[in-house]
Chains A and B, each alone.
Chain A
Amino acid sequence: MLTRRRFLETSALTGVALIVGVRLEPRCADAADQVLAPNAFVRIAPDNTVTIVAKHIELGQGTYTGLATILAEELDADWSQIRVEAAPADAERYGNRLAGGAQMTGGSTAMAESWEQMRRAGATARAMLVEAAARDWGVPASEITVERGVVSHAPSGRRATFGELAGKAATLTPPAQVTLKDPKDFTLVGKDLRRVDGRAKTDGSAQFTLDLVLPQMLTALIARPPRFGAILKSFDATAARRVKGVTHVVAVPAGVAVVAESFWAARKGREALRVTWDESRAETRGTEELFAAYRVLAGRPGTPARRDGDVAGAFRGATRVVEAVYEFPYLAHAPMEPLDAVVRVGSDGCELWAGSQAPTIDQQVVARVLGVSPDTVRVHTLLAGGSFGRRATPNGDVAGEAASIAKAVGGTRPVKLVWTREDDIQGGRYRPLYVHRLRAGLDPQGAIVAWEHRIVGQSIGAGTAFESVLVKNGVDQTSVEGAANLPYAVPNVAVELHTTDVGVPVLWWRSVGSTHTAYAVETFLDELAHATARDPVALRRTLLAKHPRHLAALSLAADRAAWGQPLPAGRARGVAVHESFNSVVAQIAEVSLRPDGLPKVERVVCAVDCGTAINPDVIRAQMEGGIGYGLAAAMWNEITLTHGRVQQRNFDGYRPLRIAEMPVVEVHIVPSGAAPTGVGEPGVPPIAPAVANALFYLTGQRVRRLPFARLAAFGTRTS
Chain B
Amino acid sequence: MADLRINGAVRTVTADDDIPLLWVLRDELRLTGTKFGCGIAQCGACTVHIDGRAARSCVTPAAAVGGRNIVTIEGISGDVARAVQESWRQLDVAQCGYCQSGQIMSAIALLSEIRRPSDADIDAAMAGNVCRCATYVRIRAAIHDAAKALGG
> Within 8 Å of chain B (Cβ to Cβ): is A383?
yes
Q: Is B100 a contact partner of A202 (Cβ separation < 8 A)?
A: yes
A76 to B95, CA, bound (A): 26
- List residues of B (23-54) whose CB comes within 8 Å of A's CBs: 23, 26-28, 30-40, 42-43, 45
The segment from A579-587, A651-659, A703-711 found at the interface with B is A651-659
Binary interface encoding of chain B residues 111-137 relative to chain A, with 1 for a CB under 8 A from any of its CBs, else 0? 000000000001100110111111111
Q: Is B92 a contact partner of A336 (Cβ separation < 8 A)?
A: no
Known: A198-B92, A201-B94, A263-B36. A625 touches B100 (CB 8 A): no
Q: Is B92 a contact partner of A337 (Cβ separation < 8 A)?
A: no
A144 to B85, CA, bound (A): 41
Q: Is B127 a contact partner of A658 (Cβ separation < 8 A)?
A: yes
Name the contact of B130 in the complex, choosing from A219, A337, A625, A656 (C-beta under 8 A): A656
> Within 8 Å of chain A (Cβ to Cβ): is B104?
yes
The segment from A407-415, A639-647, A660-668 found at the interface with B is A660-668
Q: Is B34 a contact partner of A204 (Cβ separation < 8 A)?
A: yes
A213 to B31, CA, bound (A): 11
A321 to B72, CA, bound (A): 62
Name the contact of B85 in the complex, choosing from A195, A202, A211, A387 (C-beta under 8 A): A202
Name the contact of B134 in the complex, choosing from A14, A197, A624 (C-beta under 8 A): A624
Number of cross-chain contacts by CB at 8 Å: 183
Q: How far is the CB of B18 from chain A (nearest CB, A)?
A: 8
Known: A210-B36, A264-B20, A624-B137. A383 touches B97 (CB 8 A): yes
Q: Is B132 a contact partner of A213 (Cβ separation < 8 A)?
A: no
> Within 8 Å of chain A (Cβ to Cβ): is B15?
yes
Q: Is B42 a contact partner of A386 (Cβ separation < 8 A)?
A: no
Q: Is B97 a contact partner of A656 (Cβ separation < 8 A)?
A: no
Binary interface encoding of chain A residues 407-446 relative to chain B, with 1 for a CB under 8 A from any of its CBs, else 0? 0000000000010110000000000000000000000000
Known: A336-B132, A629-B133. A650 touches B138 (CB 8 A): no
Q: Is A388 a contact partner of B132 (Cβ separation < 8 A)?
A: yes
A629 to B135, CA, bound (A): 10
Name the contact of B97 in the complex, choosing from A200, A629, A650, A652 (C-beta under 8 A): A200
A627 to B137, CA, bound (A): 11
Q: Is B35 a contact partner of A210 (Cβ separation < 8 A)?
A: yes
A205 to B33, CA, bound (A): 6
- List residues of B (42-83) whose CB comes within 8 Å of A's CBs: 42-43, 45, 72-74
Name the contact of B133 in the complex, choosing from A60, A208, A659 (C-beta under 8 A): A60
Q: How far is the CB of A615 from chain B (nearest CB, A)?
A: 9
Residues in B neighbouring A625, C-beta threshold 8 A: 95, 133-135
**Is the contact region of chain B dominated by helix, strand, or loop, or is it mixed?**
loop
Q: How far is the CB of A475 from chain B (nearest CB, A)?
A: 31
**Is the contact region of chain A dominated by helix, strand, or loop, or is it mixed?**
loop
- List residues of A (657-689) whose CB comes within 8 Å of B's CBs: 657-660, 662, 664-665
Least CB separation from A388: chain B residue: B132
Category for how many chain A residues contact B: 35 or more
Binary interface encoding of chain A residues 565-590 relative to chain B, with 1 for a CB under 8 A from any of its CBs, else 0? 00000000000000000000000000
> Within 8 Å of chain A (Cβ to Cβ): is B5?
no
Q: How far is the CB of B114 from chain A (nearest CB, A)?
A: 16
> Within 8 Å of chain B (Cβ to Cβ): is A206?
yes
- List residues of A (252-278) whose CB comes within 8 Å of B's CBs: 262-264
> Within 8 Å of chain A (Cβ to Cβ): is B99?
yes
Known: A336-B131, A338-B37. A201 touches B97 (CB 8 A): yes
Q: Is B94 a contact partner of A262 (Cβ separation < 8 A)?
A: no
Q: Is B98 a contact partner of A208 (Cβ separation < 8 A)?
A: yes
Residues in A neighbouring B27, C-beta threshold 8 A: 219, 262-264
Residues in A neighbouring B140, C-beta threshold 8 A: 659, 662
Known: A199-B89, A624-B137, A651-B38. A334 touches B132 (CB 8 A): yes
> Within 8 Å of chain B (Cβ to Cβ): is A396?
no
A206 to B45, CA, bound (A): 14
> Within 8 Å of chain B (Cβ to Cβ): is A11?
yes
Q: Is A198 a contact partner of B89 (Cβ separation < 8 A)?
A: yes
**Residue contacts A-B, CB under 8 angstroms, 28 given:** A61-B95, A200-B97, A201-B94, A207-B32, A210-B36, A211-B26, A213-B30, A262-B28, A264-B20, A334-B132, A336-B96, A385-B35, A385-B96, A386-B132, A421-B40, A621-B135, A621-B138, A628-B131, A628-B133, A628-B134, A631-B134, A632-B132, A657-B134, A658-B127, A659-B139, A662-B137, A662-B140, A665-B137
**Given contact pairs A60-B96, A420-B39, A659-B123, a sample of 18 additional A-B residue pairs in the complex whose CB atoms are under 8 Å apart:** A194-B90, A194-B92, A202-B89, A202-B93, A204-B32, A205-B33, A264-B15, A264-B19, A264-B20, A336-B131, A337-B35, A337-B37, A383-B96, A388-B132, A631-B134, A651-B43, A657-B136, A664-B137
Give me the interface of A with B, judged by CB distance under 8 Å. Answer: 11, 13-14, 59-62, 194-195, 197-208, 210-211, 213, 219, 244, 262-264, 334-338, 383-388, 418, 420-421, 617-618, 621, 624-629, 631-632, 650-652, 656-660, 662, 664-665
